[in-house]
A and B are shown apart, each in its own frame.
Chain A
Amino acid sequence: MRDVLSVCTYCGCGCGLYLHVENNQVVGASPSRNHPVSRNNLCVKGWHVHEFIHSPDRLSDPLVRKDGRLVPVSWNEALDVAAAGLKGVKERYGPDRIGVLSSAKCSNEENYILQKFTRAVLGTNNIDHCARL
């Protein structure tokens, strides 16, 4: 079993917690004693943060809508379809008709990349996230 330090994903406190990993499965979570915020404590959500990770409901493959239904496809195909769809709207209506929602649950790096993509590739400032919700 390995203990990997991570940050709780459930609120703005940012508790430091250990994820207990066995055979590439997260089997438990516990607080870090020295972390300046969590100081050896977690709330009920933090103690159970590992429970959703291996849910059978996790999306595993990209899905593309075909004949009205979402069907699993390869990464290449899904990325092609996504790019073509966004390109199509950009060319037909212009970049400012595309909106992007980033996520307060994703990392800084991912947020940075998405806003860069929005501004540099799509060519619009239409990016926001649910900071107010």
Chain B
Amino acid sequence: MTGRYLLAKDHLVPLLRKIAKSNRLVAPVLNEYGDTLFSHITDLDSAAIDLAHQPQNSLKSFFFPQTEKLSTYLVEKSPKTGNVRYNFYPHTVENQPTAYVGVRSCDMFAVMYTDMTFLHNGERDNYYQKRRDNAFFITLACNHPFPNCFCNATRSGPFLELGYDLQLTDLGDRYFVETGRSRGMKIVEQMGQFFKPASEADRREQFQLALEARGLFQRNVHVELASKILQEQDEPVGIISELSSRCQDCAGCAYVCPTCTCFNIADLPLDEESGERIRSWDACTFAGFSKMAGDHNPVQCESQRVRKRFLHKLLHDVAKHGRPSCVGCGRCVDICFGGVDIISFVDRVVKTIDHCRDVD
């Protein structure tokens, strides 16, 4: 059951201090260079928690690190037969409860989406699961979407209805607090001194903000329409070649994307007898990602790979999971100077198709 409370703004840091006693804290922090990144907070008093700007990284690397040691291996050579055996010793993930604070709806939604890949996809990924089990989310509803945001079009914001433990909405001098998962309720119970019940007027104020936020998006992106068009026909000719001619092959779009989960597994020898098996971020836009033995590559040219990524997001994932794997955070728009981002693609798909179509 959802409870509704108020938290005075002055009490946010004292609340976090209490939470930090038994949790690691991760929040958007404005650093000395003016960049805002989700960071571990070791000292609440010196960290400049920044809830005003969109963090440039998502939470992805906290659950699915850029490089992660999976196991060490030892090579065992039988003196008799000369046969070689690899013995793997899995690396244990450190088990520390972590509170993620100031998480925007898109990023929260993305965590739920990556669950589908790592937890509900047949096999469970132990490394991911451990981090996920230890996670506690205090999200922040977006009253004012950022310039490249379009989570309204992907139905992943700007306010959340599920997934969070606590959702904060900025009501000016105070936060409107909703409890989601049971852990959120528990915090409110344990630290009742910080919370007081919200009134009906507070609730109405929050609802009004949620309505108004939907009208504040600067981008009008027809994700669902594009998805529908792609289900019915191939994407119009020329779009992909136009976009891919500007692709830098840097993988930045996949790396900043909070729902992109391509990875590579590599065995890196330390010496002749041992080594490490690591998992690192990868991108389907890389040629090497799909290369097979004998150098055959089903997606030989850049345009095929760019196409694959977009169709994966807007077509194949819709077929598999019932919704596109884009949460509208706009990070790929910001990172790609070639303009090879999902908004460009959606815009072009929608634009070149018959304008007067009836889509419902």
Q: Using a CB–CB distance below 8 Å, which chain A residues touch chain B?
A: 1-3, 5, 16, 18, 20, 27-35, 39-44, 46-47, 50-51, 56
Contact = CB atoms under 8 A, between A and B. Distances in A.
A3 B37 contact: yes
B65 A44 contact: no
B31 A3 contact: yes
Contacts of B271: 56
Contacts of A33: 35-36, 56, 334
Contacts of B37: 3, 18
A50 B67 contact: yes
Contacts, number: 74
B125 to A, nearest CB: 18
Given A1-B39, A3-B31, A41-B337, A56 B269 contact: yes
Contacts of B36: 33
Interface of B: 31, 33-37, 39-40, 56-57, 61-62, 65-68, 248-252, 255-256, 268-271, 280-281, 334-337
B40 A2 contact: yes
A1 B40 contact: yes
Contacts of B336: 41
Contact of A3 (B39, B68, B250): B39
A30 B255 contact: yes
Contacts of A44: 248-251
B92 to A, nearest CB: 14
A47 B252 contact: yes
10 contacts: A1-B62, A5-B33, A28-B61, A28-B67, A32-B35, A33-B56, A41-B336, A41-B337, A44-B248, A46-B250
A2 B47 CA distance: 13
A105 to B, nearest CB: 21
B33 A32 contact: yes
Contacts of B268: 56
Contacts of B255: 30, 47
A15 to B, nearest CB: 11
A57 B179 CA distance: 51
B250 A20 contact: no
A35 B33 contact: yes
Nearest to B39: A3
Contacts of B68: 27
Contacts of A35: 33
A127 to B, nearest CB: 34
Contacts of A28: 61, 65-67, 281
B34 A42 contact: no
Nearest to A55: B268
Contacts of A34: 33-35
Contact of A42 (B33, B65, B250, B281): B250
Contacts of B61: 1, 20, 28
The interface centre, meaning the residue of A27, A35, A46, A50 with most chain B CB atoms within 10 A of its CB, is: A27
Contacts of B40: 1-2
A31 B33 contact: no
A2 B248 CA distance: 28
B252 A42 contact: yes
A18 B334 CA distance: 17
A40 B335 contact: yes
A56 B271 CA distance: 7
A31 B37 CA distance: 11
Contacts of B66: 20, 27-30, 50
Given A31-B252, A47-B252, 16 more contacts: A3-B37, A3-B39, A16-B33, A18-B37, A27-B66, A28-B67, A30-B56, A33-B36, A33-B334, A40-B334, A41-B335, A43-B248, A43-B250, A47-B255, A56-B270, A56-B271
Contact of A30 (B39, B57, B248, B334): B57
B248 to A, nearest CB: 6
A51 B40 CA distance: 22
Cβ-closest 8 pairs across A and B: A28-B66, A33-B56, A34-B34, A56-B270, A44-B250, A27-B67, A43-B250, A33-B35
A33 B65 CA distance: 20
Nearest to B61: A28
Contacts of A42: 250, 252
A37 to B, nearest CB: 12
Nearest to A35: B33
Given A27-B65, A27-B67, A56-B268, A47 B250 contact: yes
B118 to A, nearest CB: 18
Contacts of A39: 337
